[in-house]
């Protein structure tokens, strides 16, 4: 087996990633393409936990800005992450991987409840653990859920897989002269307002020395990262 730089990882996917070129919902072909990339690192023997956002379906903050009660809207956002998690589970299982969705909001007909020790056991057995429903609490985000799960499941790092190659000084989709950072400190991303993750998530990661690697989810990048290549932007220290 190849030598792995990261033995246990927390992969954070935004909900929007699952929508593909559409702005909304789940595009099954895109989910399969993302899962093919994920499959490569599971085959290498990485113990993998995944946290998926829900922004492709519902965002609590946006709905509360239009008058909805914030907590009710956030619970809807968390339910959206469960739908995304089940979609990713389906695609990974079709690729032959054993998976479990563990939800922070109990819905036992759909998935297991999130229990840390159970999650760890699944990881040890080589099952991909998909952590659904964020932290289970309103007013949080799935970035914070990713950091929280990353820490309690003793992951070596969080990989935030995106459509771009790393963290840039400005939006590379809009500015052709945008420059990518290779390394950043946690606080530097906050001070420079680089939007790597929300401030709660970044602070939590910083206080617990959890590195965050931002990289492109396609083109074998996550696999190369796991095998020790310098890929994307590493946020640490
Ligand atoms: N959410 C929440 N608590 C959490 C995680 C998520 O209330 O711990 C809600 C919140 O409304 C958020 C939505 O779920 O807008 C979807 O999550 P997020 O915006 O983080 O998804 P992403 O932007 O990664 O797709």
Contact status, residue 224 vs residue 213, Cβ threshold 8 Å: no
Pocket around ligand 1 at a 6 A CB cut-off: 14-16, 53-55, 59-61, 73-74, 77-78, 80-81, 134-135, 137-138, 140-143, 145
Instruction: Enumerate residue ranges in the chain where pLDDT < 70.
Output: 1
Measured in Å, residue 105 CA sits from the centre of ligand 1 at 13
Tell me the three-class secondary structure of 139-201, residue by residue.
CCCHHHHHHHHHHHCCCCEEEEEECCCCEECCCCCCCCCCCEECEECHHHHHHCCCCCCCHHH
How many whole angstroms separate alpha carbon 78 and alpha carbon 217?
A: 23
Residue-level pLDDT at 1: 59
Contact status, residue 128 vs residue 50, Cβ threshold 8 Å: yes
Residue-level pLDDT at 90: 98
Q: Which residues lie closer than 8 Å to 109 by C-beta, 6 or more apart?
A: none
Distance of CA 229 to the CA centre of its chain: 20
State whether ipTM is beyond 0.95: yes
Measured in Å, residue 157 CA sits from the centre of ligand 1 at 21
DSSP string, 13-56: E-HHHHHTTSSSS--HHHHHHHHHHHHHHHHHT-EEEEEE--TT
How many whole angstroms separate alpha carbon 128 and alpha carbon 101?
A: 8
For domain 8-235, is the CATH number 3.40.1160.10?
A: yes
Q: Which helix (H) or strand (E) holds 131?
A: strand 128-132
Measured in Å, residue 203 CA sits from the centre of ligand 1 at 17
Name residue 51's beta-bridge partners.
12, 131
DSSP state of 66: T
Q: End-to-end CA distance of the chain, in Å?
A: 30
Residue-level pLDDT at 23: 84
């Amino acid at each position: 087996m190849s030598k792995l730089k990261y033995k246990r990882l927390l992969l954070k996917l935004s909900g929007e990633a699952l929508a593909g070129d559409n702005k909304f919902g789940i595009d099954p072909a895109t989910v399969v393409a993302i899962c093919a990339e994920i499959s490569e690192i599971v085959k290498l023997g990485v113990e993998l936990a995944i946290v998926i956002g829900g922004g492709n379906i519902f965002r609590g903050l946006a709905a509360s800005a239009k008058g909805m009660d914030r907590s009710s809207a956030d619970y809807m956002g968390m339910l959206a992450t469960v739908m995304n998690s089940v979609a990713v589970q389906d695609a990974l299982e079709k690729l032959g991987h054993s998976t479990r969705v563990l939800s922070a909001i109990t819905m036992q007909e759909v998935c297991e409840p999130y229990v840390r020790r159970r999650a760890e056991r699944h990881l040890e057995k080589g099952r991909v653990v998909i952590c659904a429903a964020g932290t289970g609490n309103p007013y949080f985000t799935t970035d914070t859920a990713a950091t929280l799960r990353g820490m309690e499941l003793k992951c070596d790092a969080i990989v935030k897989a995106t459509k771009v190659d790393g963290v840039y000084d400005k939006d590379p989709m809009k500015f052709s002269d945008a420059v990518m950072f290779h390394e950043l400190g946690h606080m530097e991303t906050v001070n420079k307002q680089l939007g790597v993750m929300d401030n709660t998530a970044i602070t939590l990661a910083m206080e617990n020395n959890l590195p965050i690697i931002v990289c492109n989810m396609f083109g074998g990048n996550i696999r190369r990262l796991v095998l020790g290549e310098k890929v994307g932007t590493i946020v640490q220290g």
